[in-house]
């Protein structure tokens, strides 16, 4: 019997991909990680709006996107496809409307394939992630699109191949709340984000609540974050607010989080240098003021509150300043530089709390 199964698997492997019949399994029947709030009514959206008040249309539009959500599974398939029903989304790109596959190789999560979902909403559309893989069981994870709202996501493998839930690949739950920088704007692939890079670099699960242009420490976000299950918090909250909002909201935001999470580290990072200030004096003055205000407020906060930290080494620029995508957001390489710039101080802080 075992010999027959081996022969069948070999035959499947050599069949042209187009000749193979694929079976598809809903991602929720596999393993879903990466969500700050795992039990939302809609599994591919990031918030249960019924629990908190004050949401505005912009909040909802952003939190409905699947940025940061990951599906984990095991398969012996030679090819992997995705099928999704997109409710709404940005243009067909690999980052905003695509999936990003990583497979564990020699103990390391290694990129394996990515593809965008074809145009057309409210109907199933397929994309191919990888083909012609060697035999053997593989541990896989797929990052979901950064700026698409989906009602169904399915993983596909050739019929006769195994497809089963994988184990949670990373340790702990670190809540990351932040701006378009942490949402992943301008990333070419969904895995090339700050939470994505930091998770793979450290082995700690950074659960993303990145909300593009909307991370201003508003009351509705504070109330939700107070209920989050977190071993640590990581905040990119000085990129979107005005200088006055930083002055008025930061200390109250810290006190609110600490009221429900005593003893949990709250780690803030300085906003990165935006390249659009290089020659625009008005933008340069505003960005400089925001950084100065954040530095001043956090100098007070780290002395006043236990378990509060501020990482100033936040940087997404190469020495030649060629890592911007659009003057505001980093390129993929810029995001990698940024993650690396905060990795060591971040890990050092987390070790104080037994997170290692």
Domain range annotation of the chain: 19-34+69-165, 171-351
Q: Two tokens at 253?
A: 């935001």
For β-strands 98-105 and 148-158, DSSP reports them as unpaired
Question: H-type helices in 173-315, by residue range?
Answer: 180-183, 194-202, 219-225, 243-260, 281-304
Q: How many CA within 13 A on the CB side of residue 323?
A: 17
Residue 246 contacts residue 215 (beta carbons within 8 Å): no
Residue 180 contacts residue 152 (beta carbons within 8 Å): no
pTM score: 0.92
Q: What is the CATH number assigned to the segment(s) 19-34+69-165?
A: 2.60.120.260
**C-alpha to C-alpha distances, 269 to 51, 216, 356, nearest whole angstrom:** 28, 14, 20
Residue 195 contacts residue 206 (beta carbons within 8 Å): yes
What is the model's pLDDT at position 82? Answer: 98
What is the model's pLDDT at position 276? Answer: 96
Q: Using one digit for the tens of pLDDT, what is the confidence trace for 28-50?
A: 999 999 999 999 999 999 999 99
What is the model's pLDDT at position 7? Answer: 43
Q: What is the CATH number assigned to the segment(s) 171-351?
A: 3.40.50.1110
- Consecutive H or E run containing 63: helix 57-63
How far apart CA 36 and CA 266 sit, in angstroms, is 15
Residue 257 contacts residue 266 (beta carbons within 8 Å): yes
| DSSP SS3 for 233 | strand
Residues of the chain with pLDDT under 70: 1-19
What is the model's pLDDT at position 18? Answer: 52
What is the model's pLDDT at position 20? Answer: 78
How far apart CA 99 and CA 122 sit, in angstroms, is 17
Residue whose entry in the numeric block shows the structure tokens 């050599």: 14
């Amino acid at each position: 019997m075992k010999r027959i199964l081996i022969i069948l698997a070999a035959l499947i492997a050599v069949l042209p991909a187009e000749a193979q019949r694929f079976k598809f399994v809903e991602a929720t029947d596999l393993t879903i990680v990466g969500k700050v709030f795992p039990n939302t009514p809609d599994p591919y959206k990031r918030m249960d709006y019924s629990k908190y008040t004050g949401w505005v249309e912009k909040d909802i539009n952003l939190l409905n996107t699947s940025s940061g959500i990951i599906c984990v599974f095991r398969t012996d398939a030679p090819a992997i496809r995705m099928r999704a029903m997109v409710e709404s989304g940005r243009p067909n790109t690999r980052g905003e409307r695509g999936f990003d596959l990583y497979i564990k190789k020699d103990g390391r999560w290694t990129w394996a394939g990515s593809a965008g979902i074809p145009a057309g909403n409210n109907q199933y559309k397929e994309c191919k992630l990888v083909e012609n893989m060697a035999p053997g069981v593989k541990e896989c994870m797929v990052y979901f699109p950064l700026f698409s709202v989906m009602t169904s996501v399915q993983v596909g493998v050739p019929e006769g191949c195994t497809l089963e839930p994988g184990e949670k690949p990373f340790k702990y739950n670190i809540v990351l709340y932040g701006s378009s920088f942490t949402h992943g704007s301008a990333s070419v692939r969904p895995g090339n984000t700050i939470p994505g890079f930091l998770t793979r670099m450290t082995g700690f699960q950074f659960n993303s609540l990145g909300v593009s242009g909307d991370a201003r420490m508003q009351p509705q976000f504070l109330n939700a974050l107070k209920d989050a299950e977190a071993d640590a918090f990581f905040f990119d909250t000085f990129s979107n607010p005005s200088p006055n909002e930083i002055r008025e909201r930061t200390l109250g935001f810290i006190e609110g989080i600490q009221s429900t999470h005593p003893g949990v580290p709250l780690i803030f990072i300085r906003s990165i240098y935006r390249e659009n200030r290089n020659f625009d004096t008005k933008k340069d003055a505003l960005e400089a003021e925001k950084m100065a205000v954040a530095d001043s407020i956090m100098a007070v906060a780290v002395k006043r509150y236990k378990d509060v930290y501020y990482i100033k080494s936040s940087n997404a620029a190469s020495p030649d300043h060629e890592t911007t995508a659009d003057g505001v957001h980093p390129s993929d390489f810029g995001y990698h530089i940024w993650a690396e710039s905060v990795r060591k101080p971040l890990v050092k802080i987390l070790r104080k709390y037994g997170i290692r």
